[in-house]
Structure 1
Amino acid sequence: MEKIAPVRLSVLGHPQRLAVFRLLMRRFPDRIPATELAQALNVKPNTLSNYVSALMQVGLLTQERIGTSLRYGIDMQSARETFDYLLLDCCRGRPELCAPTSNFDLNNKASKKYNVLFLCTGNSARSIFAEAILRQEAGDRFNAYSAGTTPRAGLNPFALEVLQQKGHDISVLRAKNVSEFQAESAPQFDFVFTVCNQAANEDCPAWAGQPVSAHWGMPDPVKAEGTDAQKSLAFQQTYGALRNRIRVFASLPLGSLDRISLQSTLDDIGQLENGVSA
C-alpha cells in the first residue's frame, strides 16, 4: 500500500481525472456508461478514455461491458485503502486531525423531525413526487423538501394529476431552485437524495452538517412519448416506484443504525428495481 497510494494520489492530482473519480463516487454503487460520463464532464470520448484508463491502471475504477456499452464504477476497496493511507499514515491515525468536521448525529437531534431534501433537475415531477409522498407517508417524523438544479417554471400537469388522484395537497408544492436551500437561513438537512442522474452528476457544493446522501435515480417521465394515456402511465409508474422506496426508507430504525450501515441501506434502496426487490 505504501507504494501504490502515492501513485494513486498522483493520478488523482490531475483535475479532470479527479473530476471523473468524484462523479463516480457520487454515483456509487452505480456503473456509468462512458457516453454519460463524457457528456456530464463535457469532454471528448477519447479524452475520457485516457482519464479512465489512468484511474483503472492504479485500481481505482472497474470496467464492465454491457452489449456495446462500457460502464465504469468505483473500486471502493481501493478507494478506502487510499483514504486509510491518508488517515493512518499522514494523520498518524488521529481522526480529529483529518476527518471532516461535522456535528451530524441521528441519535442526538435537537428537533424531533429529520430534514430530507430530494433533488432533480427540473423539480417538476420526480422530486416533487418524493416530497409529497414522504410528507404523506411519514410527515410526523420528516420535514420533506424538494428542489431542482435548473427548475422549470411550473409543475408538470401530468404529475399534478397523479398527485391529486393520490390525495395529496398540491397547493403547498412549487418548483424551487436548489439555491434556496444553500442559503444560511435554510434548514440543515439530515438526508439529501438525488432522484435523477443529471442532478447526481453535477458538482454541487458540500451540504452543511454533512447529511447522509444517496442516489435514487429514476427515468424521467416528462420525456415519455405517445398518447396522453401512455404519458400518464409513465408518471404513475414513477410515482409508484418512488413511493415504494420512500416507504422502505421511512420504516428504517434510524436511531439504531450507525452511519455506515445506514449509508449501505440507502444505497441498496436506490438499487431496487421499480422501487421493490428484483
Structure 2
Amino acid sequence: MTTTTAAPLFTIPIPSTSGSITCTNPSPPDNPQPIYLLTFTSPPDNRLTPSFIDAFLLALDIIEHRYPKGVLITTSGIPKFYSNGLDLRLAQSTPNFVENWLWKLFRRFLTYPMPTISLLNGHAFAAGFMLAMYHDYRIQNPAKGFLCINELEFGVPLQAPMMSVFREKLSPVVFRDVVLGAKRFPGPEALRVGIVDGVGGLEDVLRFVGERGLVKLPATGIYGTMKEEMYRHSLGILDNHAANEEWRDEVERRKGVVEDEGGAKVERWEKEGGRRVKL
C-alpha cells in the first residue's frame, strides 16, 4: 500500500514545548479511507504533561466529532522516542494531575469509539508504555526502541490504573516481568510474548488495518460500548480514584502493623540469644 503526504487535516499546538500534534490521513489517494494518523512532537521526548495531554484530548475530540468514524493511529515525530513517560517533578507538583489529566487520557483511549493503534517508532517508557497499552493494538519498530516499565528502578510505585491495563492485556508471566523485572522489550521479543501485535512502520500498520478490516468496525456505533464492557474492570479503576487511594491507605496501614510486629519478634529473638551472620 502506498501512502500519501497530503496536507494535515489539522494541527494542535503544545505551548509548553513549542510542539504540536498533527493529524493526517495516510491512506492512498486512489483508495481514501477514514484513517487518522496523530503525530505528536513535544521535545525532547514527548513527556505526558498537562499541556501535552490537553492537546491530545482535543485532537481525539476533533476526530470523533468532525470526521467520519474510522481508525486512529498514534505515533511520534521524534525518532528516538514514542514517549518517555511523565515529567515526574511536574506531575508531583501539579495538583490532582493523575485524576485530572493522566486518567482522563487513559480512559479516553480505553473507550474510544474506533480502533486505535499505537505505532511505536522508538522508546516507550513508564507512562509512555502505559499509554500504548491503552490502545487497542500496538505495532513496534523491529530495529530500535524498547518498551519498559522502569518505576522499580527509581522507587516510584505504580498506581492502580497504571497496573490494571497490563493485568488485563498480558499473560501473568509477562505482567510479572514487565512490573517486577523492569524488563526492556525490543520489538521482536515484545511480539513473541504478546505485548505488541506486529512489528514494522506505517506501511505495516496500514496493511494490518486492511487485513483486519478495522476501518469498518465502528460503523454500527457500538465499538466504544463493546470496549467499555470488555475492559469494565480497568474502567472502574480509572473512574474511582478516591476508592483507589483509600485502598492504598488501608494497605499501608496494615503493612505498618505487620512490620511493627515483625520487628518486635526479631528483637525478642535477639534478646533470647539469637545470632545472625553479617553479610
Please classify the TM superposition score into its range, dividing by the shorter chain length: under 0.3
Please report the TM-score for the alignment, with normalisation by the length of structure 1: 0.24
Please report the TM-score for the alignment, with normalisation by the length of structure 2: 0.24
Structure with larger Rg:
2
